[in-house]
Amino acid sequence: MKEIAFIGVGIMGKSMVRNLMKAGFDLHIYARNVDKVRDVIAEGAKYYDSIKECVSGKEAVITIVGFPKDVEEVYFGEEGIIASSDQGTYLIDMTTTSPSLSEKIYKEGKKKGLRVLDAPVTGGEIGARDGILSILVGGDKEDYQALMPVFEAMGTNINYQGGAGCGQHAKMANQIMIAGTLSGVCEALAYGKAKGLNLDTLISSVKTGAAGSKQLDTFGPKIVADDMNPGFYLKHFVKDMGIAEEEAEESGLHLEILKKVLENYKKLEKEGLGDLGNQALIKYYE
């Protein structure tokens, strides 16, 4: 496999494109705003003005866009991915979206002889940049195995989760874990600040013990420095938690921590903080 079309060259996608090119793949990209991708074009990615032109004749198509409506648009538009891809093409949606939508793409793709996988990622901007993403894959196992060289160009923790939609369900579990853990980090730092503790010392003191976590390591120092720049947009986390809540309720689960954290994040989004990073949850306590 050599020729890959890539749609969704944003915070995460841009680094993933670069790592795929470093691994020897030829990258063909589509973006709504060409000015935002001129850097990767200069580095060797070939730009197209339409999805149809971008995906036609390619061996694989990778997408990582923002919201389920964006996934619907790029896959099911009149000149979208399913309509424009050649029979036998691998379609890999790495967006975090609803499992039911991933199942729909799989079913419609199979009707056209396409090989469809849902493969959401975790690891954020740093993981994408360093090529160490965790990739959670759903679909047919033989397709997962065939695409391993592609996945290995972008990540290091790559696991098959099951049939279509299972990658998304695994990502929902991941986001549920993050919601509770990051909320705990923010509450602890808000408490420490209110009691006059040196927050840098506090983080250093607890990070190697039972309270240590990836969320503390990643976001603790940013919170202390009031660095709210996004490695992952707050508005996208609201979207993810909303999907997780819906899926949980469909299974008769009442995930109270997730529900409360989602409410807090929605308040911040309404205040216009959606384009900040997840760590902006600390603003809820200020």
pLDDT 10s digits, 195-214: 999 999 999 999 999 999 99
Q: Tokens for 135?
A: 């990739």
In this prediction, residue 20 carries a pLDDT of 98
Q: Inform me whether the pLDDT recorded for 269 exceeds 90.
A: yes
User: What is the rounded CA–CA span in Å between residue 186 and residue 138?
Assistant: 33
In this prediction, residue 11 carries a pLDDT of 87
Helix axes 99-111, 68-76, angle to 10 degrees: 10
Identify the DSSP state of 277: B
**Which residue in 14, 58, 104, 171 is the catalytic one?**
171
Helices (H) and strands (E) in the chain, counts: 14, 9
SS3 content of the chain, % helix, strand, coil (to 5): 55, 15, 30
In this prediction, residue 231 carries a pLDDT of 85
Q: Inform me whether the pLDDT recorded for 168 exceeds 90.
A: yes
- pLDDT tier for residue 75 given thresholds of 50, 70 and 90: very high
Q: Tokens for 159?
A: 């696991």
pTM for this predicted structure: 0.94
The residues, ordered by sequence, that sit 6+ positions from 236 with a Cβ below 8 Å of its Cβ are: 66, 67, 96
Identify the DSSP state of 212: -
Q: Are 81 and 90 in contact (CB under 8 A)?
A: no
Whether residue 235 lies in the annotated active site: no
- pLDDT tier for residue 227 given thresholds of 50, 70 and 90: very high
DSSP-derived 3-state class of residue 161: strand
Q: Inform me whether the pLDDT recorded for 88 exceeds 90.
A: yes
Reported as a single tens digit per residue, the pLDDT across 18-63 is 999 999 999 999 998 999 999 999 999 999 999 999 999 999 999 9
User: What is the rounded CA–CA span in Å between residue 181 and residue 213?
Assistant: 8
Mean pLDDT of the chain: 96
Q: Containing H/E element for 61?
A: strand 60-63
Q: Inform me whether the pLDDT recorded for 124 exceeds 90.
A: no
Q: Are 9 and 35 in contact (CB under 8 A)?
A: no
In this prediction, residue 4 carries a pLDDT of 98
